[in-house]
Amino acid sequence: MKGIITGLIVAIIAAVVAAAICIHHKGKSPMAPLDIKLPTAQFVGTPPNIEGVTDLEKPLGRPRPPFLALIGTKNVALGKSVTASDNVPIVGEIEQITDGDKEAIDGSFVELGPFQQHATIDLGAKYEIYAIVVWHYHQEPRVYFDVLVQVADDPDFISNVKTVFNNDIDNSAGMGVGTDLHYVETNEGKLIDTKGVRGRYVRLYSSGNSSDGQNHYVEVEVYGKPVE
């Protein structure tokens, strides 16, 4: 009899837990991995440590795990308008930053001048943004400095400005001390979890790299859904 009562209690608890889980998930949109197409890798193995770079992110040593977002999330930056602080690039055209070409070959990247530079993408409407993926340059392993990524509602970055990535550890860019790590460029790009931040404009800063003083962009992808 005691065994029957115990079994009944266990069954009741299991039913209550199952009901609670159903209630918790009821009404939530389903998630799926983002379909991020990676360009061809130009070097293999673990990238070497870059001399003189502190706070360097350790490489995973394996492919990046899938990133989950709401079903229907897509790259909303493809083909969108881009402006930059250096409006006459040394190499390439500003429009290449959102043209879909992520390969690490000559003619596929934009080279901006030295010191602090930025590029701004106008998404054309307000989106709920779940991830931003940045490819600065991946022909060789290198680190870009003072990388900041911001989202805002206006092109002057005055309204509803949110910083979603900042590895400026000494505030040399003057926008606050960053807590994110430096990282080595690879064909995977840098995926930034933006946690559903809302905005229309995406701005990306950098200030030279570990190989030279220039600033580069191969491609920027912004994964989001329209704000209803």
Domains and CATH numbers, the chain: 31-226 (2.60.120.260)
pLDDT at 29 over 80: no
The two beta strands, 117-135 and 81-84, are antiparallel
What percent of the chain has a predicted confidence (pLDDT) above 70?
87
Token pair listed for 165: 């990535």
- Read off the pLDDT of each residue in 110-124 and give the average, rounded to a whole number: 97
- pLDDT given at position 5: 41
Radius of gyration of the chain, Cα coordinates, nearest whole angstrom: 22
pLDDT at 16 over 60: no
- Read off the pLDDT of each residue in 88-106 and give the average, rounded to a whole number: 95
Token pair listed for 71: 């079903």
What pTM was computed for the model? 0.86
| pLDDT tens readout for residues 118-163 | 999 999 999 999 999 999 999 999 999 999 999 999 999 999 999 9
- pLDDT given at position 194: 98
Token pair listed for 167: 């590895």
Residue 135: Cβ within 10 Å count: 26
